[in-house]
Amino acid sequence: MAGKTALMTSLAEKLSDIVGAAFAAQGLPVELGAVRVSDRPDLCQFQCNGAMAAAKLAKKNPREVAQGVVEVLKECPPTPSLPPVGGEGNPFQKIEIAGPGFINIDVSDAFIARQLAAMQGDEHAGVAQSGAGQTVVLDYGGPNIAKPMHVGHLRSSIIGDSLRRTMKAAGYKTIGDVHMGDWGTPMGMILSELEILGHDGPVSMEQLAEIYPKASSDCKADEARMEKARAATKGLQDGDETYTRKWRQFIDISIEGMRGNFDALGVHFDEWKGESDAHPFIAAMIEDLKAGGWAVESDGAWVVPVERETDKKEMPPLILLKSDGAVLYGTTDLATIIDRVRTHNPDKIVYVVDQRQSLHFEQVFRAARKGGLVGEDRPELTFAGFGTMNGADGKPFKTRAGGVMKLEDLIAMGVEKARARLEEANLAADMDEAEREEIAHKVALAAIKFADLQNQRQSDYVFDLDRMTSFEGKTGPYLLYQAVRIQSLLRKAGEAFPSPQPSPQGEEVFVIADEDRALALLLAELPDHFELALKNYMPHVLCDYAYRLAQEFSSFYGNCHILSEEDEALRASRLTLCALTHRQLCLVLSVLGIEVPERM
Ligand code: ARG
């Protein structure tokens, strides 16, 4: 985009530019100069391993190649993209060759200080606005009308909302859509059950909670009963007035209930659409797919073949229309893409859905591209699938009685445990009842969300309330506690040293002593972790970062004087480090959907 300000880059990216240029100066590919944070911090801060690959290309000895690069770097004048560092042009403190040709790098403290100052002065705290000018629709939540939300919906909501927040923090225009299941056979089961019961007026949530399971089990047991449900579904989809009126009523009360649930969970949606909203697009879509020859008839049904020669697994066609003319899940998902493209013209659509639906989405994506519902590569269609939340028995999490755990019960369980944990740790003790409850709620949500998000998205994990609510270890409550602790330190500092204003460029703020360096370097990594989390739709990357940051802060706090530091410049620098740590920690927690209490 023209006129856009340069993206905030991390130290590793800045170094990659510099080292890449040194590779290029040797006639080698720039990419081989990629620098990353060292995985041996005891040896060096950053490393570049490109000399090995470069040596193969240049048919030279890797150490020789590395030597050539290092010589250029030692002379390194600041690159134009990198203004000189307070008088010291060269960003390197140490640069040496190790083993077969690794280039090990330490940067100068001035270089680190500059990076921190830039992040501190940045309104996004250093998060590159890589999504600026782009729109993304995120499809998550996906609860089904009349059925209780199960743990799969919980995961979808937590992960999806976090991805929405992360993308928003990176500058995307984000639209979170709950995409309710409100159009399939369960609707017909309810409508036909209402007929059988002779129930004509509005139904309540409680009635619905009884009607649906009964109808569903009757339908399963009796084909004739099922036929009634199918007919009612078809009637609804064909626009029957009575069905539509009744359906609208129970949809409305269901949504009301869901809103309450999602509010309690702190999960936000911009749109409350459902499968039914795709309906107006279906007839024309099917006509087009038939006319284009993309849809073919198969045993009375209409399908879109989507297999490719390169497929290793069987790839069944997407079923558009059943032989009785009813539409299916794939049909509504295809038509929903049309709706989204027309309404939002998004650059990306991301589906946060149970991994077991990956085949379904592969079919939908292929059919959408093949049938020209979307362009060849825009919008990008991404399936961000997730694994199962299991109980201690390794099977999908259930209540003690073996039923589906309702979201409100799960939260209530979490809050009760959080209350006990607060008491155990003697936290929030001097607060009034209302504040203590509010904190217990925040601790519970932090526990539940962090326990979910910290796992690699595709892995299954075991729901362990005891462990996730602990104030120790890699948990949400531990992170809240650390954030609150820094907050109270900053509050105290504010009282003792009424706000020293950072210098206009913020450049002289940071003084990096030995005790500060590890925290400073870690703070400087933030852009890398955001980028990785965004690239792979992986919130756990940010969970890891938040946890490392909290731990590093703890050592920093234990190792050095902050408020009691006598050197004024160092004290101011350390307080600013604390403030930046707090800002980053709260930012990362907020994109994870976790709210930090004022105190605890
Ligand atoms: N309602 C579906 C379910 O419970 C999830 C919907 C996911 N989103 C979608 N566009 N299909 O499995």
Pairing state between β 380-383 and 348-351:
parallel
Q: List every span in the chain annotated with CATH 3.30.1360.70.
A: 6-107
Q: How far is the CA of 86 from the centre of ligand 1 (A)?
A: 55
Instruction: Determine the atom of ligand 1 nearest the C-alpha atom of 181.
Output: 1
Q: How confident is the model at residue 500 (pLDDT cuts 50, 70, 90)?
A: low
Q: What is the pLDDT of residue 253?
A: 93
The CB of 333 under 6 Å from ligand 1? The reply is yes
- pLDDT tens, 136-145? 999 999 999 9
Question: Is any ligand 1 atom within 6 A of the Cβ of residue 360?
Answer: no
Residues 6+ apart with CB under 8 A from 323: 299, 300, 301
- Please tell me the distance from the alpha carbon of residue 537 to that of residue 248, in angstroms, as a whole number: 35
Cβ atoms of 380 and 347 closer than 8 Å? yes
Note the pLDDT of residue 85: 44
Cβ(10) – ligand 1 distance below 6 Å: no
Q: What are the residue ranges of helices labelled H in 48-184? A: 50-58, 62-74, 109-121, 151-169
What ranges make up the beta strands (E) of 80-238?
A: 92-98, 102-107, 135-139, 173-177
Ligand 1 close to Cβ of residue 276 (< 6 A): no
pLDDT digits (tens, 9 = 90+) for 574-598: 999 999 999 999 999 999 999 999 9
Q: Which of 161-175, 403-417, 419-433, 496-510 has the highest mean pLDDT?
A: 161-175
> Which residue, among 82, 39, 267, 288, has the nearest Cα to 156 in the 3D structure?
267
The model's pLDDT over 63-111, given as tens digits with 9 standing for 90+, comes to: 999 999 998 888 765 554 454 444 456 788 899 999 999 999 999 998 9
354 C-alpha to ligand 1 centroid (Å): 8
State the pLDDT confidence band at 507, using cuts at 50, 70 and 90.
Answer: low
In this predicted model, what pLDDT tens digit does every residue of 546-579 receive, in sequence order? 999 999 999 999 999 999 999 999 999 999 999 9
Q: Measured from the CB, is residue 274 less than 6 Å from ligand 1?
A: no
Index of the ligand 1 atom closest to the CA of residue 180 = 1
Residue 560 burial by Cβ neighbours in a 10 Å radius (0-12, 13-18, 19+): middle
How close is the Cα of 155 to the center of ligand 1, in Å?
12
Mean pLDDT throughout 482-511? 77
pLDDT value of position 86:
42
Q: How far is the CA of 531 from the centre of ligand 1 (A)?
A: 28
The pLDDT of residue 494 is 86
Task: Check whether 236 has a pLDDT greater than 80.
Answer: yes
User: What is the pLDDT averaged over residues 268-278?
Assistant: 97
540 against 80, higher pLDDT: 540
Centre of ligand 1 from the C-alpha of residue 206, in Å: 24
Distances, alpha carbon 376 to alpha carbons 340, 347, 365, 408, in Å: 16, 12, 11, 43
pLDDT digit string, tens, across residues 190-215 = 999 999 999 999 999 899 989 999 99
Q: Which atom of ligand 1 is nearest to the CA of 147?
A: 4
> What average pLDDT does this structure show over 48-56?
94
Residue 258 Cβ contacting ligand 1 at under 6 Å = no
144 lines ligand 1 (CB under 6 A): yes
C-beta 142 within 6 A of ligand 1: yes
Contact 325, 282 (CB under 8 A): no
pLDDT band at residue 5, thresholds of 50, 70 and 90? low
Alpha helices in 266-406, H assignment, sequence order? 279-291, 329-344, 358-370
What is the pLDDT at residue 77? Answer: 59
User: Using CA positions, which residue lies closest to atom 3 of ligand 1?
Assistant: 142
What is the Cα–Cα distance from 355 to 359, expressed in whole angstroms?
9
Quote the ligand 1 centre to 410 CA distance (angstroms): 21
User: Residue 7's pLDDT is what?
Assistant: 80
Comparing 323 with 246, the larger pLDDT belongs to 246
Instruction: Indicate which residue's Cα is closest to atom 12 of ligand 1.
Output: 142
Query: Which residue, judged by its Cα, is nearest atom 7 of ligand 1?
Result: 142
- Asked if residue 181 has its Cβ within 6 Å of ligand 1, the reply is yes
- Residue 377 pLDDT exceeds 80: yes
Res 83: pLDDT:
46
Cβ of 139 less than 6 Å from ligand 1:
yes
The predicted-structure confidence for 462-480, as pLDDT tens digits, reads as follows 999 999 999 999 999 999 9
User: Cα–chain-centroid distance for residue 553?
Assistant: 24
Determine the CATH number of domain 6-107.
3.30.1360.70
Is pLDDT at 535 greater than 90 in this prediction? yes
Q: Is the pLDDT of residue 42 over 60?
A: yes
Q: At what angle do helices 476-496 and 568-591 cross, to 10 degrees?
A: 150
Unique residue bearing structure tokens 């470069």: 54
Q: How far is the CA of 411 from the centre of ligand 1 (A)?
A: 22
Residue nearest to atom 10 of ligand 1 (CA): 333
Q: What percent of the chain has pLDDT over 90?
A: 82
pLDDT, mean over the chain: 92
User: For residue 353, which atom of ligand 1 is closest to its CA?
Assistant: 7
Residue 530 phi/psi, 5-degree rounding, is -60, -45
8 C-beta closer than 6 A to ligand 1: no
Q: Tell me if 339 CB under 6 Å of ligand 1.
A: no
140 close to 156: Cβ distance less than 8 angstroms? yes
pLDDT of residue 499: 59
CB 413 within 8 A of CB 267: no
Task: Say how far apart CA 116 and CA 477 lie, in whole Å.
Answer: 27
Q: Is 179 in the pocket of ligand 1 (CB under 6 A)?
A: yes
C-alpha 71/C-alpha 133 separation (Å) is 41
Q: Looking at residue 76, what is its pLDDT? A: 67
Cα 509 to Cα 495: distance, rounded to the nearest angstrom: 20
Task: Verify whether ligand 1 is closer than 6 Å to residue 157 (CB atom).
Answer: no
Determine if ligand 1 sits within 6 Å of the CB of residue 184.
no
Which residue has its alpha carbon closest to ligand 1 atom 2?
Answer: 142
Residue 185 Cα to ligand 1 middle (Å): 14
Straight-line distance from the first to the last Cα atom of the chain, in angstroms, rounded to the nearest whole number: 45
Q: How far apart are CA 583 and CA 564, in angstroms?
A: 22
Tell whether the model's pLDDT for residue 395 goes beyond 90.
no
* Digit-coded pLDDT (tens) for 110-165: 899 989 999 999 999 999 999 999 999 999 999 999 887 888 899 999 999 999 99
Cα–Cα distance for residue pair 87/198, rounded to 1 Å: 86
Q: How confident is the model at residue 501 (pLDDT cuts 50, 70, 90)?
A: low
The pLDDT tens digits for 159-191 are 999 999 999 999 999 999 999 999 989 999 999
Question: What residues contact residue 292 under an 8 Å CB cut-off, 6+ apart?
Answer: 371, 372
The model's pTM is: 0.94
| Cβ count within 10 A of residue 5 | 7
Q: Which of 155, 179, 355 to mutate to test the pocket of ligand 1 (most atoms within 8 A of CB)?
A: 179
Ligand 1 centre and the CA of 194: distance in Å?
25
* Predicted local confidence at residue 323, as pLDDT: 87
List every span in the chain annotated with CATH 1.10.730.10. 476-591
Tell me which CATH code domain 476-591 carries: 1.10.730.10
